[in-house]
Amino acid sequence: MLTERFLEFTHHILINACEMSYVEEAPGTLELLQRLDKILKYYGNDKEFVSLHQEINILQDYIFIMKMKHGNTCDLRFLGTGEGEDIQIHRFSVISYVDKIIQEHKNDRDKYTTYHISVEFDETITLLVESQSNEEIKSYRCKLDKEV
């Protein structure tokens, strides 16, 4: 109950801040606040499983915020197959995994890093993340649990 009230309160503050940024003609701030609001709503969702598609959409909002924070030194490209709408995964499983990779690179602010994310579907779901900066390419792979 307390978490719900906090999220509702935060939502109203963000709406007011969005209105102010619109009035002050600050479109970057407006978009940042709108994406933060979407992330908070997703956080407040009490479902254990969500569609892979939903998780990727929220990840894109999170990456937008990280790009603003780190001076546009990273980009995310999702190489999807369109199958993610029907597949249910644990909420925050993709976001947590990609965030760990981004945090690994956070001290490389002098390098521009692109994260290519793709998903392989077979009996399991495999998340592939390739981090490509000016000097190196790293690949990460993890298996995601899905609802059966």
Is 117 in contact with 142 (CB distance < 8 Å)?
A: no
Residue 21 main-chain phi, psi, to 5 deg: -65, -30
Per-residue pLDDT of the chain in tens (148 residues, 90 and over written 9): 677 777 777 877 878 887 888 888 888 888 888 888 898 888 888 888 888 888 888 888 888 887 777 666 677 776 655 555 678 888 888 888 888 877 777 666 566 777 777 777 665 667 777 777 766 777 877 777 666 4
Is 95 in contact with 59 (CB distance < 8 Å)?
A: yes
Q: Token match 């569609």: residue?
A: 51
Q: Token match 């999807």: residue?
A: 80
pTM, two decimal places:
0.74
